[in-house]
A and B are shown apart, each in its own frame.
Chain A
Amino acid sequence: MNRVTCTIDGQTVTVPEGTALIEAARALGIEIPHFCYHPHLPVAGNCRMCVVEIQGSPKLEIACNTAAREGMAVRTDTEAVRAARRANMEFLLANHPLDCPICDQSGECLLQEYWDAHARHASRLRDPKVTKGKRIDLGDDLVLDQERCIACTRCVRFSETVTRTGDLVLLGRSDHQRIGPATGARITHAYQGCLAEICPVGALTSRSFRFRKRVWWLEEVDSICPGCATGCNVRVCVQDDTVHRILARRNDAVNRSWACDEGRGLYRELAAPERPLLGRVAGRPAAREEALAAAAARLGSARRPGLVLGGQATCEALLALVRLHERALPAARLFHVPGPDPGRRAWSDGILVHADKDPDTRGVRLLATCAGGVEDGEALARALADEALDLLLVLEDDALGRLGIPAAPGVVALAFHGHRSAAAAEVLVPVAGCWEQDGTYVNAAGRVQRLHRAVRPAGEAVPAYVALHRLGALLGVDLGCSTSEAAAGALAETISGFPREVGPEGVVLPPPLDGGTP
């Protein structure tokens, strides 16, 4: 592709031909203010906030819809540009209800930020403000306030190009222009959270997050969504050791700027009432250490143990289990039961949602190769029916539920969810959820991505690799997985070619590890 070199505010930048000035400026670290432009939506060019001065051009041009050309000299901070931004902000805010105290966008609202940075004017409006619909129920997770809307049409373009549902339209003209549902019906698609997230003002807000926290209190931790094998990059918003919402994190190779509503709602699993927070031994609540000791005693005396590698476990935990097999339980048989857990639908939509609801199935396959192969669900069902196993260690997945087996004798479960295998377990060890631990997932496309701990594990839970490391210690072997760093290092040592550092965007597995798609 041809590359062009242009000058923005005196700095020279070389970008591919066709790159919008707004992106060229971003490459230089110059942020041009904008409402309607979004890198993953078609350009509308209607907010007029990103105007810049181009040498030789008689009028100001919008930076979102002007491609960088060879030798172009652009200035983003001249008096003409500043005056245009000021005037633009005055128009945008003329009828704004200014209900920032009750608006959830407050604190991450572009109107607030740009007024402060570029306008700082007082209202000159003498007529009463135009009133429009407020608190409109637009969907299960979406509330519309038409007064706050600046008609940037990001949501309309999202509905047209991403979900392709076309269920939002711009209605009316002039100062009566507003966003509304195209057919009057509520929005039913699975990306309502994206609409609330891309809205640059408080017109579209998420019902599940509405009024729960002010955004300036939330700390954001970069992590990965455990909802399916796509492995969307997310930001986990935390205050007081509690996850309050999940936002998408931009990763052009995985999820662009989006995340589905199912994934956004997964933080509720951390506080689900059925989640085990304490260990259990033979139906009696037990401290974690007691449960681990009971598990170690049973594993030590088992003659025909089976170990289930779970697709919801991190690669670190899977490695710990494989090492436990190698070093302490060579007689054990390894199984993997593909998903989804009962209660979850194996659906996909071609946008983000993957039919495989386990975030780390590829990780299971990698570690299975390491361990010399695993047996499938059918083999496990047969083994259980023939009573060929006297103990079954289940790592995270609901192996019994997936096979439709109500109960099995001698189940040791390391469980985050309160699923059937956890309920049927003789020994239960509570383990941390995805956002409660550091770890690694390999998504369906073979991209290695790292989780970061956003909150402390609830109750007695610890990351599964820590629990397994302790189990190994009780059985007299060192698994080398006591911390996330040690476990990640062990992964890179064990699987040759497995990346040690993956960075915020993840790393695709190098050949030959990348072979085969699920």
Chain B
Amino acid sequence: MPNRPTGRKRTLAERTYLLPVLRDLARTGAHLVRTVARPEARVTVEYPEVEKPMSPRFKGAHRLLLRDDGGPRCVACMCCAMVCPAKCITIVAREDPEDPQEKVPVRFEIDLLRCIFCGYCVEACPKDAIRMDTGIFELNAFARQDLVHGMAYLTNLAKDARAEAAVFHRQHPEAAPPGFLPDEPLPVDPEILARPRRRVPPVTRE
């Protein structure tokens, strides 16, 4: 007979399908009761209202770190651009007579549309200037250019919603609020930075 790979004859219970259906309904019901009774045991989250905790090693969108004096840590050594397998990093260096570190990047762009999030740039950086620890994985934009992150965006922490708005407003100046200066470093509101991200407690599976 076809459909009998084991060659074994089906039992009556199996042929009626009733018992397996009831058994699986019971399992589903048990899950329902358990998650209503103990919400913290749920394995799903109501994304995007609730975000799952990210592993600290998760490689999200990049950011550029600043020195204590406020200048960029990056010295434009081009190691990240060199090692990048996707060739998504563009750096233009310049000598800065004011800056204590001689060489600074005037342009630092990461094309996230090309980036494959391998993290080699973080590995290669001799100055710990670039990290992928923002936890940001929601990379979407209205225009392609908005996903090419420049110096201002990268140094101002992509966690800031206003930075994201500013990127949009650079592309669409007609929609920008009055007083918006496209070339100014993006504003970072300390309040926004201090605001805790909504998190569900870590899932513990039995």
- A-side interface residues toward B, CB under 8 Å? 100-102, 106, 134-135, 210-212, 214, 216
With A and B bound together, what is the CA distance between A126 and B38 in angstroms? 59
In the complex, which residues of chain A have a beta carbon less than 8 angstroms from the beta carbon of B95?
210-211
Query: How many inter-chain residue pairs (CB < 8 Å) link A and B?
Result: 28
In the complex, which residues of chain A have a beta carbon less than 8 angstroms from the beta carbon of B101?
102
Query: Which DSSP category, helix, strand, loop or mixed, fits chain B's interface?
Result: loop
Does B126 contact A101, Cβ atoms closer than 8 Å? Answer: yes
Query: Which DSSP category, helix, strand, loop or mixed, fits chain A's interface?
Result: loop
Does A216 contact B75, Cβ atoms closer than 8 Å? Answer: no
Binary contact readout B98-134 vs A (1 if CB under 8 angstroms, 0 otherwise) = 0001110000000000000000000000110000000
- B-side interface residues toward A, CB under 8 Å? 75-79, 82, 93-95, 101-103, 126-127
Does B94 contact A211, Cβ atoms closer than 8 Å? Answer: yes
With A and B bound together, what is the CA distance between A210 and B101 in angstroms? 14
Return the contact of B75 from the options A102, A134, A135, A210 (Cβ within 8 A). Answer: A102
Most interface-central of A101, A135, A212 (chain B CB within 10 A): A101
**A-B pairs with beta carbons under 8 Å apart, 17 shown:** A100-B77, A101-B77, A101-B79, A101-B127, A102-B75, A102-B77, A102-B101, A102-B102, A102-B103, A106-B77, A210-B95, A211-B76, A211-B93, A211-B94, A211-B103, A212-B93, A214-B77
Shortest beta-carbon contacts, A-B, top 6: A101-B77, A102-B103, A211-B93, A102-B75, A214-B78, A101-B75
Return the contact of B102 from the options A100, A106, A135, A216 (Cβ within 8 A). Answer: A135
| Shortest distance from the beta carbon of A208 to any chain B beta carbon, whole Å | 11
| Shortest distance from the beta carbon of B88 to any chain A beta carbon, whole Å | 16
In the complex, which residues of chain B have a beta carbon less than 8 angstroms from the beta carbon of A214?
77-78, 82
| Shortest distance from the beta carbon of B103 to any chain A beta carbon, whole Å | 4
In the complex, which residues of chain B have a beta carbon less than 8 angstroms from the beta carbon of A100?
77, 126
In the complex, which residues of chain A have a beta carbon less than 8 angstroms from the beta carbon of B93?
211-212
In the complex, which residues of chain B have a beta carbon less than 8 angstroms from the beta carbon of A212?
93
| Shortest distance from the beta carbon of A417 to any chain B beta carbon, whole Å | 28
With A and B bound together, what is the CA distance between A101 and B78 in angstroms? 8
Q: Given A101-B127, A212-B93, 13 more contacts at CB 8 Å?
A: A101-B75, A101-B77, A101-B103, A101-B126, A102-B76, A102-B101, A102-B103, A135-B102, A211-B76, A211-B94, A211-B103, A214-B77, A214-B78
With A and B bound together, what is the CA distance between A216 and B95 in angstroms? 20
In the complex, which residues of chain A have a beta carbon less than 8 angstroms from the beta carbon of B77?
100-102, 106, 214
Which residue of B is nearest A212, CB measured?
Answer: B93
With A and B bound together, what is the CA distance between A135 and B76 in angstroms? 17
In the complex, which residues of chain A have a beta carbon less than 8 angstroms from the beta carbon of B127?
101
In the complex, which residues of chain A have a beta carbon less than 8 angstroms from the beta carbon of B102?
102, 134-135
